[in-house]
């Protein structure tokens, strides 16, 4: 690993830590007035060798390989696509490295699932303390999330060779907007650090 690659990896780690911790914006170089998000795309793993996760209300777990194939580091942009019927999707468009990984991994793993996870804490969000009492929710209030397993799209017969991944997220429209805006802010911040 050359010095520039190592520095970029370390800087991305600091950016991601700032997103997770919420309070690290000043020291990590992130603008505290912007919302940031991270994304991880995993390959479906094998039962017994992988972590089981649930997406949405589906009671059947899907097993997730331990290491992400793609992250926000491989992202070129994120787009929220609204359909006329009221449904919506998130499209992740990857950079050259991300396109290559997506094509190679999905071509050789047809019939398996990609599993997508995102962290999208709102501005000013703080990681809850482990010993803190759970927040009391008002009746009828929606549960606020800072991260979620979003989707597990099936890899089609020809893989994902277009360099982009479109999926219907298990997220409200408001959460989808936060995710897309946060990912694009993160990509812009990483690109600024590279220049």
- At 159 the pLDDT is 84
Extended beta strands in the chain, E state? 38-43, 51-53, 62-64, 70-71, 75-82, 88-94, 114-119, 147-151, 164-167
What is the pLDDT averaged over residues 147-162? 91
pLDDT at 170: 95
pLDDT (mean) for 32-57: 90
9 has pLDDT over 50: no
- Domain assignments of the chain as residue spans, ordered by start: 3-125+146-194
CATH architecture designation of domain 3-125+146-194: 2-Layer Sandwich (3.30)
Mean pLDDT in residue range 80-98 = 97
Helix (H) or strand (E) holding 9: helix 3-21
């Amino acid at each position: 690993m050359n010095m520039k690659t190592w520095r970029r990896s370390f800087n991305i780690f600091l950016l991601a830590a700032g997103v997770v911790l919420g309070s690290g914006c000043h020291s990590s170089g992130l603008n505290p007035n912007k919302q940031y998000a991270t994304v991880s795309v995993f390959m479906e793993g094998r039962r017994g060798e992988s972590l089981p996760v649930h997406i949405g209300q589906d009671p059947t777990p899907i097993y997730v390989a331990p290491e992400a194939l793609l992250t926000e580091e491989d992202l070129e942009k994120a787009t929220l696509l609204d359909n006329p019927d009221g449904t919506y999707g998130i499209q992740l468009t990857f950079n050259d490295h991300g396109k290559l990984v997506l094509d190679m991994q999905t071509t050789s793993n047809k019939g398996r699932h990609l599993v997508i996870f995102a962290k999208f804490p709102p501005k000013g969000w703080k990681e809850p303390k482990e010993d803190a009492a759970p927040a009391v929710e008002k009746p009828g209030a929606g549960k606020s999330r800072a991260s979620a397993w979003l989707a597990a799209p099936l890899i089609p017969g020809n893989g994902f060779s277009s360099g982009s991944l479109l999926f219907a997220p298990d997220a409200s429209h408001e959460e989808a907007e936060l995710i897309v805006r946060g990912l694009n802010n993160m990509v812009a911040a990483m690109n600024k650090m590279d220049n």
